[in-house]
Amino acid sequence: MKHVLVNGANRGIGLELCRQLSERGDQVIAVVRKSSAELEKLGCRIESGIDVTRPEDLALLQNRLGDLALDLVINNAGILSNQSLGKIDHTAIDQIMDQFKVNALGPVLLAQALRSRLAKGSTYAIITSRMGSIADNTSGGSYGYRMSKSAANSAAVSLARDLAGDDVCVLILHPGYVRTEMTRHSGLIDADESARGLIARIDELGMEASGRFYHANGEELPW
């Protein structure tokens, strides 16, 4: 039986990851700022009150986990707001910095907090976005989200190097364009299809894929 931790688990892709991983028999620890009725229905362990940008919350999570060894951690928490050229005022700057904190720094802080709990042969998966791909940017805009996800990708490669000696595989995964609250329910696929693809990639990819960037459909993505 595998011990799996997923954050941003109260809704969207994170909720669906918890549902599918629980259904196949993994022991899921769902980490949230605030739980939801849908998450409570899954019957998995829930750790509430954990904001991924707050080291004191992450220290609390460490304590609550005790010496439990984790086979898989999925940093899924993320935020999106839009800033366009000509409209980057103080409010927009604050939004951009918030996206940096959650999307780019969050995965690093969670890895730092859980490093000693990551078992040899485990996987640390980061749900990033192809919006962070510089090569794939044909439409511009979305300054905060794009910059923060590019920074997340960069940080993820550092994590892959730093955790290689611990035999931990770091996967950088784009979930697809998914109908969730983040996209105001526009998108090409639903969260269940996205989660199925993400779990399939996590199951099949090993150390040779650590520090590389994949779409949930299996395609390798350019930086």
Ligand X SMILES: NC(=O)c1ccc[n+]([C@@H]2O[C@H](COP(=O)([O-])OP(=O)(O)OC[C@H]3O[C@@H](n4cnc5c(N)ncnc54)[C@H](OP(=O)(O)O)[C@@H]3O)[C@@H](O)[C@H]2O)c1
Q: Total number of residues binding ligand X (CB under 6 A)?
A: 28
Report the distance separating Cα 46 and Cα 129, nearest Å: 26
Regarding 125 and contact with ligand X (CB under 6 A), the answer is: no
User: Does an H or E element contain 35, and which?
Assistant: none
Regarding 153 and contact with ligand X (CB under 6 A), the answer is: no
Report the distance separating Cα 218 and Cα 177, nearest Å: 14
Regarding 33 and contact with ligand X (CB under 6 A), the answer is: yes
The stretch near ligand X (CB under 6 A) out of 112-120, 153-161, 170-178, 202-210 is: 170-178
Regarding 100 and contact with ligand X (CB under 6 A), the answer is: no
Look up residue 64 and give its two tokens.
Answer: 């609550």
Report the distance separating Cα 83 and Cα 173, nearest Å: 24
Residue 41 or 121: the one with the smaller Cβ distance to ligand X is 41
Residue 166 or 187: the one with the smaller Cβ distance to ligand X is 187
Residue pair 220/213 in contact by the 8 Å Cβ criterion: yes
Report the distance separating Cα 194 and Cα 197, nearest Å: 5
The stretch near ligand X (CB under 6 A) out of 18-26, 49-57, 156-164, 213-221 is: 49-57
Task: Give 210's contacts (C-beta < 8 A, 6+ positions apart).
Answer: 160, 163, 164, 168, 169, 170, 171
Regarding 177 and contact with ligand X (CB under 6 A), the answer is: yes
- Which ranges of the chain would DSSP assign to H, the alpha helix? 12-23, 37-42, 55-65, 90-99, 106-114, 143-164, 191-204
Regarding 127 and contact with ligand X (CB under 6 A), the answer is: yes
Regarding 47 and contact with ligand X (CB under 6 A), the answer is: no
Pick the binder of ligand X from 2, 11, 45, 215 (CB under 6 A). 11
Interacting residues with ligand X (CB under 6 A): 7-8, 10-14, 33-34, 51-53, 76-79, 102, 127, 129, 174-175, 177-178, 180-183, 187
